């Protein structure tokens, strides 16, 4: 009772709560039926993954993706579709290999250079491996220990968190900052145990972005799989171990790219953004990360058009460029909104995998959080109950910083995400059609309610 009194007093509801709930529940049911019965997200994802494949910023595949996205948004019924220019870093991988020299034995180890790393320029770099069990140990290593050697950080993905993103948050900085710390200690290369929960992909390397920070020496930085990491650490304790690393990756400057935007015109001059990022790492097919978020965002347009839902806000589906190794697309989008003095009611991102939806993370005022929580009963039939996490997404975060836009992020079941994240297992076959579509329906329902009640 007290809660309703608050909502009514704050003017968030304009008519009685019960009457609204019935109408909203019916509309959410219509949305759910439409997406589950007629949704095209899954077939769009199949095209993206199988006909185009992975799509690193600045690659030919990335350009092909834009052409596909423009077409897909038009077919979904967007009133307007356009490209928003943004300069992005171009990084290429090239051939690469890692061999461990153990006594007279040479063992080939699967590896991936980390994104934005410089390579060995095609030459073989041979050096002794020094193993560190934690980031602290690496930071505290005596100056002389790493001179001319390879720093190997063997810190495992924290498995004790029920939500795997909490584990990833804890170790993400190791991959991003580790190379700079090792470089400043005089190391000639940096190797990290992959940030992976690893079930079903235990010896697969998982890539991801790194940074040299202000380190003068841009040493090669690579990831290896969990099983290889265990073996190497064991061998290092037994005897001196050398590695021969050959990589040919490196930055190729900046190139022009574009955010792809499609919108349904609203009846006011306000906007709601829903998006994912269309770039991916250059392994696998970028299916969960983040083809799923892209096709779900396109599906919102299709669903609204099909059900003839006329929004108050202009609903924009945005396929962001360059999330993985620069986050330039999200920044360009927010900058453009600031320059055009656009008023954004809400931004919603899906970039946590195309798994069964569980709820939405929220980055907004306490009043807005309470408003979203008042929709719980309406959203529960979709299996949505978790509205307690904070945050929006990398691509929409600049909108919070620059425009104070309320943010939300789709929260799916996270148990399998870090098995496939940034590795060759992130393919179309790893995505389930019903789970993907239920996520899209959840996003459409959330946007329907936000369009109606946020202002
Ligand atoms: Zn992503």
Q: How far is the CA of 149 from the centre of ligand 1 (A)?
A: 33
CATH of the domain at 425: 3.40.630.10
Q: How far is the CA of 159 from the centre of ligand 1 (A)?
A: 21
- For residue 12, pLDDT beyond 90: no
- Dist CA 437 CA 42 (whole Å): 7
Q: How far is the CA of 276 from the centre of ligand 1 (A)?
A: 8
Q: How far is the CA of 363 from the centre of ligand 1 (A)?
A: 18
Choosing from 248, 282, 309, the residue where a domain stops is 248
- Dist CA 220 CA 83 (whole Å): 35
- For residue 345, pLDDT beyond 60: yes
Same-domain pairing of 261 and 399: yes
Same-domain pairing of 84 and 130: no
Same-domain pairing of 224 and 275: no
- For residue 95, pLDDT beyond 50: yes
Choosing from 226, 248, 270, the residue where a domain stops is 248
- For residue 16, pLDDT beyond 90: no
Same-domain pairing of 51 and 104: no
Contact 403, 344 (CB under 8 A): yes
Q: How far is the CA of 167 from the centre of ligand 1 (A)?
A: 16
The pLDDT value given to residue 320: 98
Structure tokens at 108: 């080939």
The pLDDT value given to residue 311: 98
Same-domain pairing of 227 and 151: yes
Choosing from 229, 248, 267, the residue where a domain stops is 248
Q: How far is the CA of 353 from the centre of ligand 1 (A)?
A: 8
Q: How far is the CA of 165 from the centre of ligand 1 (A)?
A: 12
pLDDT, the chain, mean: 94
Contact 344, 300 (CB under 8 A): no
Same-domain pairing of 141 and 221: yes
The pLDDT value given to residue 5: 37
Q: How far is the CA of 119 from the centre of ligand 1 (A)?
A: 24
Q: How far is the CA of 272 from the centre of ligand 1 (A)?
A: 20
Q: How far is the CA of 290 from the centre of ligand 1 (A)?
A: 5
Structural domain boundaries, residue 378: 2-90+253-453
Q: Is the peptide bond before 321 cis (omega within 30 degrees of 0)?
A: no
Q: How far is the CA of 197 from the centre of ligand 1 (A)?
A: 17
pLDDT band at 122 (very low <50, low <70, confident <90, very high): confident
Same-domain pairing of 103 and 45: no
Average pLDDT estimate for 105-134? 97
Q: How far is the CA of 324 from the centre of ligand 1 (A)?
A: 6
Same-domain pairing of 120 and 148: yes
The pLDDT value given to residue 203: 86
Same-domain pairing of 384 and 278: yes
Give the pairing of strands 125-132 and 242-247: antiparallel
Q: How far is the CA of 277 from the centre of ligand 1 (A)?
A: 6
Rg (CA), the chain: 23
The pLDDT value given to residue 6: 37
Q: How far is the CA of 166 from the centre of ligand 1 (A)?
A: 15
Among the listed ranges 21-25, 201-205, 409-413, which one has the minimum average pLDDT value?
A: 21-25
Same-domain pairing of 86 and 102: no
Q: How far is the CA of 431 from the centre of ligand 1 (A)?
A: 15
Q: How far is the CA of 59 from the centre of ligand 1 (A)?
A: 17
Nearest residue to 324 (alpha-carbon basis) of 41, 51, 90: 90
Same-domain pairing of 106 and 126: yes
- As for how many domains the chain has, the answer is 2
- Whole-structure pTM over 0.85, yes or no? yes
pLDDT band at 143 (very low <50, low <70, confident <90, very high): confident
Q: How far is the CA of 173 from the centre of ligand 1 (A)?
A: 16
Q: How far is the CA of 72 from the centre of ligand 1 (A)?
A: 20
Same-domain pairing of 118 and 67: no
CATH of the domain at 237: 3.50.30.30
Q: How far is the CA of 421 from the centre of ligand 1 (A)?
A: 9
Structure tokens at 58: 């600045």
Q: How far is the CA of 189 from the centre of ligand 1 (A)?
A: 26
Average pLDDT estimate for 99-116? 95
Q: What is the pLDDT of residues 318-334, one digit of tens each?
A: 999 999 999 999 999 99
């Amino acid at each position: 009772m007290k809660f309703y009194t608050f909502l009514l007093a704050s003017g968030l509801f304009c008519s009685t709560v019960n009457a609204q709930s019935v109408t909203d529940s019916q509309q959410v049911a219509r949305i759910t039926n439409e997406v589950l019965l007629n949704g095209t997200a899954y077939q769009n994802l199949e095209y993206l993954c199988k006909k185009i494949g992975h799509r690193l910023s600045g690659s030919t595949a990335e350009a092909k993706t834009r052409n596909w996205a423009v077409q897909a948004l038009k077919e979904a019924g967007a009133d307007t579709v356009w490209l928003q220019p943004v300069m992005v870093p171009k990084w290429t991988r090239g051939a690469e290999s890692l061999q461990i020299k153990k006594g007279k034995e040479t063992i080939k180890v699967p590896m991936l250079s980390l994104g934005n790393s410089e390579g060995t320029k095609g030459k073989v770099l041979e050096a002794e491996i020094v193993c560190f069990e934690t980031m602290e140990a690496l930071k505290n290593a005596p100056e002389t220990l790493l001179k001319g050697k390879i720093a190997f950080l063997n810190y495992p993905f924290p498995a004790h968190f029920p939500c795997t993103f909490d584990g990833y948050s804890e170790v993400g900085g190791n991959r991003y900052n580790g190379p700079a710390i090792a470089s400043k200690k005089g190391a000639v290369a940096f190797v990290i145990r992959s940030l992976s929960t690893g079930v079903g992909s235990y010896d697969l390397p998982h890539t991801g972005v790194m940074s040299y920070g202000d380190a003068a020496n841009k040493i090669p930085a690579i990831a290896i799989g969990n099983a290889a990491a265990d073996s190497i650490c064991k061998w290092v304790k037994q005897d001196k171990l050398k590695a021969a690393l050959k990589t040919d990756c490196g930055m190729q400057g900046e190139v022009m790219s574009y955010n792809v935007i499609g919108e349904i015109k609203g009846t006011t001059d306000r906007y709601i953004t829903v998006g994912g990022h269309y770039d991916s790492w250059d392994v696998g097919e970028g299916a969960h990360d983040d083809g799923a978020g892209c096709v779900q965002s396109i599906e919102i347009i299709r669903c609204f058009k099909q059900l003839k839902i006329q929004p108050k806000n202009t609903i924009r589906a945005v396929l962001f460029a360059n999330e993985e190794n620069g986050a330039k697309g999200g920044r360009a989008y927010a900058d453009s909104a600031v320059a055009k003095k656009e008023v954004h009611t809400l931004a919603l991102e899906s970039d946590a995998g195309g798994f069964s939806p569980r709820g939405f993370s929220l980055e907004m005022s306490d009043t807005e959080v309470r408003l979203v929580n008042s929709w719980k009963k309406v959203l529960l039939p979709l299996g949505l109950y978790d509205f307690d996490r904070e945050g929006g997404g990398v691509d929409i975060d600049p909108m919070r910083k620059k425009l104070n836009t309320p943010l939300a992020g789709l929260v799916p079941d996270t148990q399998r995400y870090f098995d496939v994240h940034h590795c060759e297992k992130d393919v179309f076959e790893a995505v389930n059609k019903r789970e993907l579509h239920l996520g899209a329906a959840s996003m459409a329902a959330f946007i329907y309610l936000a369009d109606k009640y946020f202002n």
